[in-house]
Amino acid sequence: MSAHNEGSTRAILYALGANFGIAVSKFGAAWWTNSGSMLAEAIHSTADCVNQLLLLLGMREAKRPESADHPLGYHRVTYFWSMIVALLLFFMGGAFSVYEGIERLRHPHPLENGLVALIVLGLAVVLEAFSLAGAMREIRKVAHGKPFLRWFRETRESELMVVAGEDIAALAGLTFAFCAVAFALATGNPLWDALGTLCVGIVLMVIAVLVMIEVKGLIVGESASPELREEIQRFVADQPEVAEVLNVITLAWGDKVVIAVKARMAEVERISGAQLVERINAVEARMQTAFPRAKWVFFEPDVR
């Protein structure tokens, strides 16, 4: 398994373990306290568990070998499952919470045993922080010093991006839910709980939309990261067989990269066709050694 996959898998497993424990405790607390914020959070954590299982399924499916119908393999299937996860986060987590919040605004329900809800929410904050810390550790390994927001915009690692987005949404939602329950207990007004439920839903929907925008770019087709593109261009230009790089196209392909190069070869007038092929093959072999994720390299000799 590549380092890319190992990091994403670890982040997903951190999130899955944390969210499973959180979901069980939240459902128990929601039943015990009759809290809409807690019920919204319980549904959100359940959706997150389903989402992480889908991400693991996508990573497993991406390992299927190439075939005549799929000559470049199934690596991009991870983008499809990442989009499904974002949609579930939007509808199963966000939209349900908004609906539940509106219902509780129309028909307020008093909280029961609100202290239990606060304890469970506090425990959930600790577990979610553990999950997010695990995801951030993996992100720092691949971000090369980039700020988080810049990494989020430029990353081609959809699974890690989705897990980070889910964890951030979860922590923000828990904060709103904790404050809502605390205000409802302090004031005796259940409308605070309904407003907290609404806020949880809105946060989930906003983050889900941001994730969907980024994953849509990957599904449509994005190049490799800007740093990798520049590194590939410099590497090709430095090869002794290459006189001039005319164009380099890269395409993110799951955890792999497709590279197409058009270049003017050195001494092309003095060598035979067979020698030209040998030189191109040598450059391609060096590229795949230097860039292990470059599973497919297409090299076209040309003149300006």
Q: Tell whether the model's pLDDT for residue 8 goes beyond 80.
A: no
Q: Tell whether the model's pLDDT for residue 33 goes beyond 80.
A: no
Q: Tell whether the model's pLDDT for residue 2 goes beyond 60.
A: no
Q: Tell whether the model's pLDDT for residue 3 goes beyond 60.
A: no
* 152-188 residue pLDDT tens: 888 888 888 888 888 888 888 888 888 888 888 888 8
pTM value surpassing 0.85:
no
Q: What is the pLDDT of residue 37?
A: 65
Contacts 24+ apart (CB under 8 A), 104-109: 104/36, 104/190, 104/193, 104/194, 104/197, 105/191, 105/194, 105/195, 105/198, 108/190, 108/191, 108/194, 109/34, 109/36, 109/190, 109/193
| Reported confidence tier of residue 36, pLDDT bands at 50, 70, 90 | low
Pick the CATH number of 3-220 from 3.30.230.10, 3.40.50.300, 1.20.1510.10, 1.10.1040.20: 1.20.1510.10
Given this chain, do its domains 3-220 and 226-301 carry the same CATH topology?
Answer: no
Domain spans of the chain, in order of start? 3-220, 226-301
Let me know the angle formed at the C-alpha of 152 by 131 and 52, rounded to the nearest 5 degrees: 40
* 109-124 residue pLDDT tens: 776 677 777 888 888 8
On average, the pLDDT of the chain sits at: 85
Which 3 state secondary structure label does DSSP give 244? strand
* 37-93 residue pLDDT tens: 677 777 777 877 888 888 888 888 888 888 888 888 888 898 999 899 888 888 877
**Top-level CATH class of 226-301?**
alpha beta
